[in-house]
C-alpha cells in the first residue's frame, strides 16, 4: 500500500517553494474559466515545470519519480510490454528482476494499465512515475511510436485526477 498524502497539489507546490499563493490563486482563477487541472494550468502559465508537478504528485501518492533522461533500456525488457499497451497507457518497461517488471508510467493510479501490463508480461508490476514528455520520447525511441497524447497538459491532467479540480 502506498502512503498517500492528503494535501492538495497546490499546497505541496507552495511548501516546496515552487509557486507562491498569488500564483496558485491565478492558476485557480484560470482553471475556473478554462477548466483543466491545476497542474496543467500551472505548467501552461509558466509557474511550474512538468517535472516539478510530477515530483510533487509522486510525494502525494507515494510513487517514486524516475527521470528517463539518459536512461538506457534493454530492448529485451521493452519487448515485455507490447507497443499497443505502452502507447495506450503511457508506460515504459524499465527493468525485470525475477518475476517483477519495473515500469514507469504517466498515471500511477491507472489500475487498468497495471492489469494490462501484468497480463501481457506475466510479471508482477512495480511502478515508477515519469513525466509525460519523457515517456513520449521513450515511446519514440523504443517503440518507434508517436501518440495523440503529445500535449503535456493532457498527460498531467490524467495524473491530477478529479480531486485536484477546483482546489483551494
Please identify which residue in the block is written with the cell numbers 498515471.
Answer: 107
Number of domain units in the chain: 2
* pTM (predicted TM-score): 0.72
Answer whether 118's CB lies under 8 Å from 85's CB.
no
Q: What is the CATH number of the domain that holds 105?
A: 3.30.300.160
| Residue 38 belongs to a domain | yes
Is-contact 27 47, C-beta < 8 A? yes
Q: Does one domain contain both 58 and 112?
A: no
> Could you report the per-residue pLDDT of 4-33, keeping only the tens digit for each?
566 788 888 999 999 999 999 999 999 999
Q: pLDDT digits over 42-92, tens only?
A: 999 999 998 899 888 888 888 999 999 878 999 999 999 999 999 999 999
Q: Are residues 21 and 42 in the same domain?
A: yes
Domain shared by 124 and 82, yes or no = yes
Cα torsion for 43, 49, 55, 57, to the nearest 10°? Answer: 0
Q: Pick the residue with more confidence: 71 or 3?
A: 71
Contact 164, 39 (CB under 8 A): yes
Identify the residue with better confidence: 30 or 153.
30
Q: Residue 1 domain-assigned?
A: no
Residue 40, domain extent: 9-62+156-164
Amino acid at each position: 500500500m502506498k502512503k498517500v498524502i492528503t494535501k492538495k497539489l497546490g499546497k505541496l507546490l507552495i511548501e516546496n517553494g515552487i509557486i507562491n499563493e498569488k500564483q496558485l490563486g491565478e492558476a485557480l482563477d484560470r482553471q475556473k474559466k478554462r477548466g483543466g487541472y491545476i497542474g496543467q494550468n500551472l505548467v501552461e502559465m509558466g509557474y511550474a515545470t512538468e517535472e516539478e508537478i510530477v515530483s510533487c504528485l509522486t510525494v502525494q501518492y507515494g510513487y517514486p519519480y524516475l527521470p528517463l533522461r539518459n536512461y538506457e533500456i534493454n530492448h529485451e525488457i521493452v519487448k515485455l510490454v507490447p507497443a499497443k499497451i505502452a502507447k495506450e497507457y503511457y508506460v515504459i518497461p524499465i527493468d525485470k528482476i525475477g518475476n517483477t517488471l519495473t515500469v514507469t508510467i504517466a498515471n500511477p493510479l491507472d489500475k487498468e494499465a497495471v492489469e494490462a501490463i501484468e497480463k501481457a508480461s506475466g510479471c508482477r508490476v512495480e511502478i515508477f512515475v515519469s513525466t509525460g514528455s519523457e515517456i513520449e520520447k521513450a515511446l519514440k525511441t523504443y517503440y518507434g511510436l508517436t501518440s495523440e497524447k503529445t500535449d503535456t497538459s493532457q498527460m498531467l491532467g490524467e495524473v491530477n485526477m478529479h480531486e485536484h479540480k477546483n482546489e483551494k
